[in-house]
Copies of this chain bind each other. A is one copy, B any other.
Amino acid sequence: MATISDVAERTGLSKATVSRVINNHPYISKEKRELVYKAMEELGYQPNPSARRLRGQLTNTIGVIVPRIVNPFFSYLVDALEQVAYENNYQVLMFQSDEKKDKELYFLNLLKTKQVDGLIMTAIENEREVIESYTRFGPILFCNEYLSQSEIPVVRVDQSKAAYIGTKHLLDRGYRKIAYCTGGLFVDDGKDKDRNIGFQKALNDHQININTAWVFINKHTIEDGRHVMRQIAGMNEKPDAIFTGSDEIAAGVILEAKSLGMKIPEDLAVMGFDDQPIAEMIDPALTTIQQPIKEMGTISVDMLLRLLKNQPLDQKHKELSVELVIRSST
């Protein structure tokens, strides 16, 4: 591997001058500049990122933490983030938290040890204070998930409205006994709380109380959905509709319902969330809430790059809108 000294030697210049050429400093004669470019080309020289980082330079890497990449919502989100990052000459270091605090901490330390310039967090496991303590090492951005009391910038969709229009749709169709499925364990903050609020508001509009037996927490996967359906099947008083936290849960509910001989939506209307490819694929096709994933990714990277360049943000809290996609499951 050629080093900057090799380039300096070949051109008869000093390392300092070569470095200036590389970094586009002013006051370099055109003549020397071209000499350096030529030598770099000939030697196949590429600056060593570790050495640059050591001098406090940027790494041109942003970290993205997701709960699980196999969840299509997040793989599409990472896809979008990576595309935009690449266009801006940034790499993405992807990391799964697996919903574990220690993995998230390991990840946050990448910022501390300057392995990434900034972080995009699409999941939050640790306490607010812990995460905020890392902001002194570099910019952090919440994407999708967030903490309401935090000063950390956020890009997210209006989850409360999303849940509201979803639930309202079920109510408009005449369903009154609505079950509710959420991903959160403790729904005391962030997107799950917002969804809760939207759901409650819609019910309140119709003077309906939530039946706590019909509330399922910490559900994420297809298997979780199947499990929920089995629980419902075993109930004396069954709901006539279910609002789920993701298309995957909804798909699980439908699959299990079918194997139990139930009809969707006649016996149970099912509402998804995300509008993943499976929403169209499953029979009956899922009514669901479409999230602007590509847009979230684009805006998130843009905002983070702004923070990295110390440019001002027009808003610290960017809220995107969602759309109801009506298909056959409701």
Interface size class of A (residues with CB under 8 A): 35 or more
Interface, chain A (partner B; CB < 8 A): 1, 46-51, 53-54, 68-70, 72, 75-76, 78-79, 82-83, 86, 91-96, 98, 103, 109-110, 112-115, 137, 222, 248, 251, 255, 277-278, 280-283
CA distance A281 to B285 in the complex (A): 11
Docked-complex contact B72 and A72, CB < 8 angstroms: yes
Given contacts A48-B114, A75-B70, A255-B281, A96 and B109 within 8 Å (CB-CB): no
Chosen A-B contacts, 26 in total, with CB atoms closer than 8 Å, are A1-B112, A1-B113, A46-B109, A46-B112, A48-B54, A48-B113, A50-B51, A50-B53, A50-B115, A51-B54, A54-B54, A69-B69, A69-B78, A69-B82, A70-B75, A70-B76, A79-B96, A82-B94, A82-B96, A83-B98, A91-B95, A92-B95, A251-B281, A281-B282, A282-B282, A283-B283
A-side interface mostly:
helix
Docked-complex contact A49 and B281, CB < 8 angstroms: no
Copies in the complex: 2
CA distance A51 to B69 in the complex (A): 31
Q: Within the complex, what minimum Cβ distance (angstroms) separates A244 from chain B?
A: 15
Residue of B48, B78, B86 touching A103 (CB-CB under 8 A): B86
Q: Within the complex, what minimum Cβ distance (angstroms) separates A76 from chain B?
A: 5
Q: Within the complex, what minimum Cβ distance (angstroms) separates A49 from chain B?
A: 5
Q: Within the complex, what minimum Cβ distance (angstroms) separates A309 from chain B?
A: 21
